[in-house]
Amino acid sequence: MRISIIGAGYVGLTTAIGFASKGHRVIIIDTDNDKVNLIRRGKSPVWEEGLEVKLLDFVSNQGNLEATSDYQKILDTEMSLICVGTPSNSDGSINLSNIEDSVKKIGKVLSKKTDYHVVVMRSTIIPGTTKHLIIPLLEEHSGKKVGEAIGIAVNPEFMQEGKALQTFLKPDRVIIGEYDQRAGNMVLEISQDFGAPIVRTDVTTAEMVKYASNAFLATKISFINEMGNICQRLGIDVYTVARGISYDYRIGERFLNAGVGFGGSCLPKDVRALIASSKKHGYQPQLLESVLAINEAQAKKIVEIAERKLGSLLNKKITVLGLAFKPNTDDIRNAPAIPVVNMLVEKGALITVHDPKAISNARQVLPENVSFGNRVPEAINGSDCVLILTEWDEYRDEGLYQGKTVIDGRRALDPQKARELCDYHGICW
């Protein structure tokens, strides 16, 4: 199929490479010319293992992936997948300005198209958005009836950063929310060889499936952090408890890693948006509010442990290892490391940070007086305390920390081995 993908971020780029690798012809459209120019040269604007090699191959050798900022190119395709960002407003509600902009532009271009065209929402959008915002906007700007000349479907993305392409190509399930059956059938056509169970439903239910999934994952993490905080007081290792409960097939083993909490571009923003939307509809989602409160408290807890160990943090040298919200990505959006560094700086600590991939993103948001270490041994040399906030493999060597005070926010180290070599503290174990 000929597919246009709107938005060349983590999701759009992965989706483009994923569908190109399935033999589709893909045009990726982004308003950011720098990103478009990078992609044209086969360079990935985001870091993900293996993404750039594939990108270069499709752009330069196979020629089935191109990038542009020109929306007119949609006319060369049968389907447009919207993958633009949906960030938070300051009150936590979803900011739909990128969605509105892209839908208006698509609508204008589709006013000139004679054949049927499908618009598919892959961005995470709050339930009701397609029905109450996207369809009216598309009809207004195209002058056509949605469900007839233009089809619409919601096909939420579930890829995981850190293994984006792998999880894109092997999804656990495919959700197809269809406004018209023809649109649903076309999404089915490009999805069925992923070999995943397929749930076909209406557009609003499909939007909700994405939020319910992320809310559940966030809840699992805050649940195990709460267990960790209780276990720590009782002298019990929460990781052994997690292993013990994980064999219950109703619980499972994933997302039970106690630590400094969840971050990233999805879980915090999506839980906040669901809370804001629930309140707007007259429901106070107490569980979700607690999930966020527990998460925010974990980041503060790591600073409190540092203060307990070092006393006043004024002029104390502290090294923060890991800035990305999880390993194997350069994404620092809502990463716990960012508020932790800010809290430490406010308390007068002298901060050195290290991350194998996220430094250039971090430089744009961290205070100017933070130092950046190139290598781990240099970064921790002379430091009064080391905080581990992302479990990159290169931090997992207990030998690195001989004689140091270490606060592990991710269970990156084996506590027993670490305690033999250094003054080791787990955040909740």
Ligand X SMILES: NC(=O)c1ccc[n+]([C@@H]2O[C@H](COP(=O)([O-])OP(=O)(O)OC[C@H]3O[C@@H](n4cnc5c(N)ncnc54)[C@H](O)[C@@H]3O)[C@@H](O)[C@H]2O)c1
Q: Which helix (H) or strand (E) holds 426?
A: strand 423-426
65 close to 41: Cβ distance less than 8 angstroms? no
Q: How far is the CB of 8 from ligand X (least distance, A)?
A: 5
Stretch that binds ligand X, among 6-14, 144-152, 365-373, 396-404 (CB under 6 A): 6-14
Q: How far is the CB of 238 from ligand X (least distance, A)?
A: 26
Which of 5, 6, 135, 380 binds ligand X (CB under 6 A)? It is 6
Which of 21, 77, 80, 124 binds ligand X (CB under 6 A)? It is 124
What are the tokens at 202?
Answer: 């209406």
User: Does residue number 85 form part of the binding site for ligand X (CB under 6 A)?
Assistant: yes
User: Does residue number 207 form part of the binding site for ligand X (CB under 6 A)?
Assistant: no
291 close to 224: Cβ distance less than 8 angstroms? no
Q: How far apart are alpha carbons 188 and 426 in whole angstroms?
A: 46
- Given the structure tokens 């971050």, which residue do they identify? 263
What are the tokens at 379?
Answer: 């970064």
- Given the structure tokens 């709460």, which residue do they identify? 226
User: Does residue number 12 form part of the binding site for ligand X (CB under 6 A)?
Assistant: yes
User: Does residue number 103 form part of the binding site for ligand X (CB under 6 A)?
Assistant: no
Q: Determine the size of the site formed for ligand X (CB under 6 A).
A: 26
Stretch that binds ligand X, among 26-34, 56-64, 72-80, 275-283 (CB under 6 A): 26-34
C-alpha torsion angle, residues 214, 216, 218, 221 (rounded to 10) = -140
User: Does residue number 26 form part of the binding site for ligand X (CB under 6 A)?
Assistant: no
Q: Pick the catalytic residue: 83, 231, 266, 428?
A: 266
Q: Of 364, 358, 372, which is closest to residue 328 (Cα–Cα)?
A: 358
Residue list 137-196, contact with ligand X (CB under 6 A): 157, 159, 161
User: Does residue number 313 form part of the binding site for ligand X (CB under 6 A)?
Assistant: no
Which of 84, 146, 175, 274 binds ligand X (CB under 6 A)? It is 84
- Given the structure tokens 């961005």, which residue do they identify? 123
Q: From the CB of residue 280, how many other CB atoms can be counted at a distance below 10 Å?
A: 11
Q: How far apart are alpha carbons 389 and 367 in whole angstroms?
A: 18
Q: Which helix (H) or strand (E) holds 3?
A: strand 2-6
Instruction: State yes or no: is 231 an active-site residue.
Output: no
User: Does residue number 7 form part of the binding site for ligand X (CB under 6 A)?
Assistant: yes
Backbone angles phi, psi at 399, to 5 degrees: -60, -25
User: Does residue number 228 form part of the binding site for ligand X (CB under 6 A)?
Assistant: no
User: Does residue number 80 form part of the binding site for ligand X (CB under 6 A)?
Assistant: no
Q: Mask: binding to ligand X, 232-271, rule CB under 6 A, as x and -? A: ---------------------------------xx-----
User: Does residue number 352 form part of the binding site for ligand X (CB under 6 A)?
Assistant: no
User: Does residue number 44 form part of the binding site for ligand X (CB under 6 A)?
Assistant: no
Of 75 and 236, which CB lies nearer to ligand X in the complex structure? 75
Distance of CA 38 to the CA centre of its chain: 22
C-alpha torsion angle, residues 159, 164, 170, 172 (rounded to 10) = -30
User: Does residue number 30 form part of the binding site for ligand X (CB under 6 A)?
Assistant: yes
Q: How far is the CB of 261 from ligand X (least distance, A)?
A: 17
Please, which residues have CB within 8 angstroms of residue 410's CB and are 6 or more apart in sequence? 257, 259, 260, 322, 388, 389, 390, 391
User: Does residue number 10 form part of the binding site for ligand X (CB under 6 A)?
Assistant: yes
Q: How far is the CB of 189 from ligand X (least distance, A)?
A: 22
Of 242 and 271, which CB lies nearer to ligand X in the complex structure? 271
Q: What angle do CA 211, 216, 221 make, to 5 degrees?
A: 130
User: Does residue number 106 form part of the binding site for ligand X (CB under 6 A)?
Assistant: no
Q: What angle do CA 262, 263, 269 make, to 5 degrees?
A: 110
Catalytic residue list: 266
Q: Residues interacting with ligand X, by CB under 6 A? A: 6-12, 29-32, 35, 83-86, 98, 101-102, 123-124, 157, 159, 161, 265-266
